[in-house]
């Protein structure tokens, strides 16, 4: 297999996994929030509501799409296109695992390896504010315009503490390469404490990690920072006048930005694909154990069904989990997929945190949101950077 063919194969795999994740992240979010609020969530379309994302896509694709009168047609249509393009562009530089050999060719588990990957991600994320501002202005709607302006001010404000938190990590690793950042976090202190940046000496970046997460919530317009979509004030914010696939594009961009933000947090602070325990303690066998345990739980509930359909659906899920667990025991597959499992597990935990916060916290007032960014988050981020720089300079001498 040639290098070009392998690159096209990687692009196809990444696109398929990303688009599937985007579709079913919405299903997971609705299910988790339903459990938090003692509701059922999607349960009618397919077993356990698994076909609900397909139904939503069909509904949005077949709805009437209209353009409001006196709107700037070009910018009105360009805004959702720009939102999706920037959201999907970021995933091209995210590394999902170490360098592996596939069909006799050594290749990285990412689409492209930039030695300035961190700057690329910051640049792309900072440009996403244009899509929201353009959507609000081009719609010729005062509520959409207010939503777009509020979003622009919010995203610009929270970019500063986010960037300062990232710089603190760069001081420890001394590289702008995402792959280099992960490699700098490999290994363990005293045999069992991971050298992730949240534990990294001389100054563990716990505060930078929390600042980055809070800023990521605001950058993706998620609760408690969803000011552009404050329905009680703005009807729906910057996308008030959007429907059909144009509305779906903004929806898709939001979830894609969530995935990119959690991937970036994993690479910067949580060691990327590095396992939390040494390989000698069973790090490569843990993924198989997790799937086997999941299969056992699904089989138990299938044998003791709460609903009639569980008698048939859950044993199928259990069989799939057992097969995956068996495949992960194969040494060749294990060496390739175990790092991907650890990377995906960390990203999944952070995505669950995004959903959990949405189901539990109320929305800030706009003045509270801006005051929190400028009077608390940014000063704390600068202080963390100064302390990190001082300690790195002292240790280097």
Where do the DSSP E strands lie in 111-252? 188-189, 193-194
Does residue 221 have a cis peptide bond before it, meaning omega lies within 30 degrees of 0? no
Q: What is the mean pLDDT of residues 359-388?
A: 89
Mean pLDDT (whole number) for 67-81: 88
Give the pLDDT of residue 210.
93
User: Does 162 reside within a domain?
Assistant: yes
**Could you tell me the pLDDT band of residue 1, with boundaries at 50, 70 and 90?**
low
At residue 189 the predicted structure's pLDDT band, cuts being 50, 70 and 90, is confident
CA–CA distance from 70 to each of 77, 147, 297 (Å)?
A: 13, 19, 57
Average pLDDT over residues 177-203: 87
Average pLDDT over residues 50-66: 87
Confidence of residue 345 (pLDDT cuts 50, 70, 90): very high
pLDDT reported for residue 212: 93
183 located within any domain: yes
- pLDDT-above-90 percentage for the chain: 25
Distance (Å) of CA 387 to CA 8, 205, 208, 215: 45, 11, 11, 20
Q: How far is residue 29's CA from residue 47's CA, in Å, rounded to a whole number?
A: 17
In which band, very low, low, confident or very high, does the pLDDT at 228 lie, cut at 50, 70 and 90? low
pLDDT at site 244:
86
Spatial contact of 147 and 133, defined as CB atoms under 8 Å apart: no
Q: Under DSSP, is residue 282 helix (H, G, I), strand (E, B) or coil?
A: coil
What is the helix (H) or strand (E) element at residue 51, kind and residue range?
A: none
Give the C-alpha separation, 383 to 131, whole Å.
32
| Contacts with 349 (C-beta within 8 Å, 6 or more apart), sequence order | none
In a domain, 315, yes or no: no
Q: Which of 125, 124, 126, 119 is nearest to 178 (CA)?
A: 119
Helix axes of 142-173 and 206-219: crossing angle, nearest 10 degrees: 160
Token representation of residue 43: 């349960």
User: What residues are paired with 100 via a beta bridge?
Assistant: 107
CA distance 54 to 350: 25
Q: What is the mean pLDDT of residues 135-148?
A: 86
Phi first, then psi, for residue 76 (nearest 5°) are -60, -40
Residue 164 is predicted with a pLDDT of 92
Longest dimension (CA), the chain: 68
For residues 72 and 335, what is the distance between their CA atoms, to the nearest angstrom? Answer: 53
Q: Which domain holds residue 238?
A: 3-285+329-396
- Of 264 and 152, more confident: 264
Instruction: Please determine, for residue 136, whether its predicted confidence score (pLDDT) is greater than 90.
Output: no
Confirm whether 316 is domain-assigned.
no
* Its pTM surpasses 0.85: yes
User: What is the structure's pLDDT at 229?
Assistant: 66
The DSSP bridge pattern shows strands 105-109 and 188-189 to be unpaired
Pick from 167, 160, 224: nearest CA to 358: 224
Give me the helix-helix angle, 286-303 and 310-327, nearest 10°.
160
Instruction: Please report where in the chains the tokens 């760069």 appear, as a residue.
Output: 170
Is the pLDDT score of 282 beyond 80? Answer: no
Note the pLDDT tens digit of each residue in 34-48: 988 888 888 888 888
What is the overall mean pLDDT for the chain?
86
Preceding omega of 11 cis (within 30 degrees of 0): no
Q: Is the pLDDT of residue 381 over 90?
A: yes
Q: Is residue 333 part of a domain?
A: yes
pLDDT score, position 10: 83
* 308 vs 312: CA distance, rounded Å: 8
Identify whether 224 is preceded by a cis peptide bond (ω within 30 of 0): yes
Are residues 343 and 268 in contact, defined by beta-carbon separation less than 8 angstroms?
A: no
**Position 290 in a domain:** no
Task: Determine, yes or no, domain membership for 314.
Answer: no
pLDDT band at residue 263, thresholds of 50, 70 and 90?
A: very high
Q: What is the pLDDT of residue 262?
A: 93
Indicate whether 166 pLDDT > 90: yes
- Per the domain annotation, does 257 fall within a domain? yes
Nearest to 262 by CA among 217, 222, 228, 229: 217
CA gap 241, 40 in Å, rounded: 30
How much is the pLDDT for 233?
65
Q: Work out how many domains the chain is built from and give that number.
A: 1
Q: What is the pLDDT of residue 232?
A: 61
């Amino acid at each position: 297999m040639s290098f070009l063919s392998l690159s096209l194969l990687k692009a196809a795999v990444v696109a398929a996994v990303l688009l599937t994740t985007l579709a079913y992240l919405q299903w997971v979010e609705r299910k988790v929030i339903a459990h938090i609020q003692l509701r059922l969530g999607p349960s009618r379309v397919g077993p356990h509501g698994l076909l609900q994302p397909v139904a939503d896509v069909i509904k949005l694709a077949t709805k009437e799409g209209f353009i409001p009168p006196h709107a700037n047609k070009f910018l009105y249509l360009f805004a959702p296109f720009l939102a999706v393009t920037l959201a999907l562009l970021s995933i091209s530089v995210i590394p999902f695992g170490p360098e592996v050999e596939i069909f006799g060719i050594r290749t990285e588990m990412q689409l492209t390896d930039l030695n300035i990957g961190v700057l690329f991600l910051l640049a792309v994320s900072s440009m996403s504010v244009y899509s929201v501002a353009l959507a609000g202005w081009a719609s010729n709607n005062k509520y959409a315009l207010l939503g777009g302006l509020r979003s622009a001010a919010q995203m610009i404000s929270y970019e500063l503490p986010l960037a300062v938190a990232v710089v603190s990590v760069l001081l420890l690793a001394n590289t702008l390469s995402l792959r280099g950042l992960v490699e700098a976090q490999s290994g363990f202190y005293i045999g069992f404490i991971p050298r992730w940046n949240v534990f990294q000496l001389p100054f563990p970046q716990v505060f930078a990690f929390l600042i980055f997460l809070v800023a990521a919530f605001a950058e993706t317009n998620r609760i408690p920072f969803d000011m552009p979509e404050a329905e009680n004030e703005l009807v729906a914010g910057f996308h008030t006048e959007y429907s059909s696939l144009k509305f779906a594009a903004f929806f898709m961009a939001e979830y894609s930005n969530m995935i990119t933000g959690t991937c970036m947090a994993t690479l910067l602070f949580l060691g990327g694909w590095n396992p939390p325990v040494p390989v000698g303690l069973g790090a490569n066998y843990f993924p198989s154990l997790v799937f086997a345990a999941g299969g056992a739980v699904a089989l138990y509930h299938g044998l003791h069904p709460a609903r009639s359909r569980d008698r048939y659906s859950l044993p199928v899920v259990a069989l799939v989990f057992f097969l995956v667990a068996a495949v992960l025991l194969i040494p060749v597959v294990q060496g390739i997929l175990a790092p991907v499992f650890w990377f995906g597990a960390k990203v999944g935990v952070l995505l669950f945190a995004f959903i959990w916060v949405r189901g539990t916290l109320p929305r800030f007032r706009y003045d509270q949101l801006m005051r929190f960014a400028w009077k608390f988050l940014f000063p704390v981020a600068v202080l963390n950077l100064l302390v990190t720089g001082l300690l790195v300079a002292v240790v280097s001498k």
